[in-house]
Structure 1
């Protein structure tokens, strides 16, 4: 009925999420690539969050990864992954996995390798203690505001993605988008809820001052 296209025409960021949960989502993405997104007059930023794909077959995952580059003609694509999701994609593409306690530089190299194979603009990978971004503009590593005793951890990755997308919507660079992602997630694990705008600003200031 045209409502989705109209919404996309007014969007700075288009997030495509939960691929794992829907068995026909790859086909839906193909339809969007051919019937909807070519009609956009602007170039929105695309953010893709798979959700843990371990329940899907290798064939399904590989089929999905092959079409990610199909969004690029409509706008730059960022694939957001946690460390475990990144390792799943790496194993399927004959790339070595990276351990959670490895140096951030290893995860950054992993992000660049995935970016090259997938043919997309950017790959972002986040672990509990840090996050990285690999794009044509270079690599960025950001140490997070680690919380040793979180009130809640389930959902922290979703908050990271939300913060990162906030950065995309405001046309921030990779470094500042990572900072926002880490801050939104960092507030969440300490408070078991999402921050308001004012609380996020205060959290960023406390983090910068080293007073968290």
Structure 2
């Protein structure tokens, strides 16, 4: 499979990021103090503004499948949640597999996001582990995620296990081993899915060849190529792979500090990636910052802030 490798000078990137964090230390510190917040004011637009006057009700966020929103404008009256969403620059969605209503994202898009007319959102999606989701449901939600790309830039984040499972489910393979019942169920679902898409037995045979011959990154690339999104990021054991229309960026990160292991690593990476988006960094810099925040999270969460993040970046020995 063809892909263009993106290879920036990581040492230069780390130095540039450390310098940027130092220059923007006040809003960065403000952001890092709210790593667990479900909604916050953009600290780069409103330094020192912590509270949102017209906060979106937490129940609304949960019901619509939203994990977090970052608001650009404060002090502007809003009659309803739609008005508040219209002032947001970034919307992070919760894990789809954890939603009570599988159609929540579709309703959010059609009822709230699309009518706003905004086309400069940053959307971050998480699917979670789709091992027990029906194939038609998975295909449908991927189409819905693609709809959001008409309203801004879309990033889908998965860990390695989630990405492999997603690929298996969409290609009729059993994500687990040694479960003949699951294998039969997956094969039956794929047969129905393939028939609906006009695929033939020959396609099924070609699929089996692909399974034997392709690498994990080949499979992840094939996922990206089937979706209408701007970025697919796959995280696995201290390694990140970012796919975009410009190419593929591979990044090896240093071991995490301050915690025994990478717990909730995808969510922690997302927090750093979002910081990069707010700083208006390029995609590779956002990815590196995501890895840095995930690695340093154990100390950052204690309130040590921007200075520790700069120290972490400068102590990062590139191993790419």
| TM-score bracket for the superposition, by shorter chain length | 0.7 to 0.9
Residues 96 and 142 from structure 1, CA distance in 2 versus in 1: closer, same or farther, beyond 3 angstroms?
Answer: farther
2:313 aligned partner: 204
**Is the CA contact (8 Å cut-off) linking 2:126 and 2:157 kept in structure 1?**
yes
Q: Distance in 2 between matches of 1:175 and 1:188?
A: 20
1:93 aligned partner: 170
Q: Max radius of gyration: which structure?
A: 2
1:41 aligned partner: 118
Q: Distance in 2 between matches of 1:166 and 1:32?
A: 24
1:19 aligned partner: 96
Structure 2 length-normalised TM: 0.56
Structure 1 gap segments, 5+ residues each? 98-105
Q: Distance in 2 between matches of 1:75 and 1:126?
A: 23
Measure how far apart 1:59 and its partner are.
Answer: 3.6
2:272 aligned partner: 163
Task: State the Cα RMSD in Å.
Answer: 3.0
Q: Distance in 2 between matches of 1:123 and 1:74?
A: 17
Residues 123 and 74 from structure 1, CA distance in 2 versus in 1: closer, same or farther, beyond 3 angstroms?
Answer: same
| Residue number among 255, 267, 271 corresponding to 1:146 in the alignment | 255
**Is the CA contact (8 Å cut-off) linking 2:119 and 2:150 kept in structure 1?**
no
Measure how far apart 1:171 and its partner are.
Answer: 2.2
Residue 72 in structure 1 maps to residue 181 in structure 2: no
Structure 2 gap segments, 5+ residues each? 1-77, 175-214
1:54 aligned partner: 131
Structure 1 length-normalised TM: 0.81
Q: Distance in 2 between matches of 1:4 and 1:77?
A: 21
**Is the CA contact (8 Å cut-off) linking 1:62 and 1:92 kept in structure 2?**
no
Q: Distance in 1 between matches of 2:262 and 2:289?
A: 17
Residues 169 and 3 from structure 1, CA distance in 2 versus in 1: closer, same or farther, beyond 3 angstroms?
Answer: farther
Residues 200 and 107 from structure 1, CA distance in 2 versus in 1: closer, same or farther, beyond 3 angstroms?
Answer: farther
Residues 88 and 208 from structure 1, CA distance in 2 versus in 1: closer, same or farther, beyond 3 angstroms?
Answer: same
Residues 87 and 9 from structure 1, CA distance in 2 versus in 1: closer, same or farther, beyond 3 angstroms?
Answer: same
Which structure exhibits the higher relative contact order, with contacts defined as CA atoms closer than 8 Å and separated by 6 or more residues? 2
